[in-house]
């Protein structure tokens, strides 16, 4: 059985607030709405995003955005615009690897922390 975690968070992304759903079960950043993103480019490949029921959903654009947190700003690159998904999904593992960070989950709150490596 594969474990996954879903977490909802309202985050200011560029000039608007977007409700991102943090997910450990997807392998890309996904959005159904390209209007709130910046630098959208047409996706000219034939690849599709596969969902659990086996259906392939078309990718229309590749886009980029920024997430503004109280103490820093995170840039999200290569967000796939998939109009037929229902909500924006942020892949936790990809985010942690790209940002050199980790998530700390508690009952009613979570934190994104920098991963600091100390060498002696």
Q: Which domains does the chain have, with CATH numbers?
A: 6-114 (2.40.70.10)
For CA atoms 39, 45, 49, 53, the dihedral sign is: positive
Q: Residue 44 half-sphere exposure, CB side, CA atoms within 13 Å?
A: 1
Digit-coded pLDDT (tens) for 1-22: 344 444 445 454 555 667 788 8
Q: pTM above the 0.95 mark?
A: no
Summarize pLDDT for 33-62 with one digit per residue, the tens. Answer: 887 677 778 788 777 777 777 778 888 889
Strands (E), 14-60: 16-23, 30-31, 38-42, 48-50, 56-58
CA gyration radius, the chain:
15
């Amino acid at each position: 059985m594969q474990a996954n975690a879903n977490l909802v968070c309202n985050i200011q992304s560029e000039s608007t607030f977007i409700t991102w759903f943090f997910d450990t079960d997807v392998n890309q950043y996904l959005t159904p709405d390209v209007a709130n993103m910046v630098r959208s480019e047409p996706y000219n490949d034939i690849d599709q995003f596969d969902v659990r029921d086996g259906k392939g959903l078309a990718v229309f654009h590749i886009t980029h955005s920024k997430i503004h947190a109280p103490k820093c700003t995170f840039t999200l690159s290569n967000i796939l615009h998939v109009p037929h998904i229902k909500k924006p999904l942020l892949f936790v593992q990809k985010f942690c690897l790209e940002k050199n960070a980790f998530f700390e989950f508690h009952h009613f709150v979570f934190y994104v922390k920098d991963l600091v490596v100390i060498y002696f």
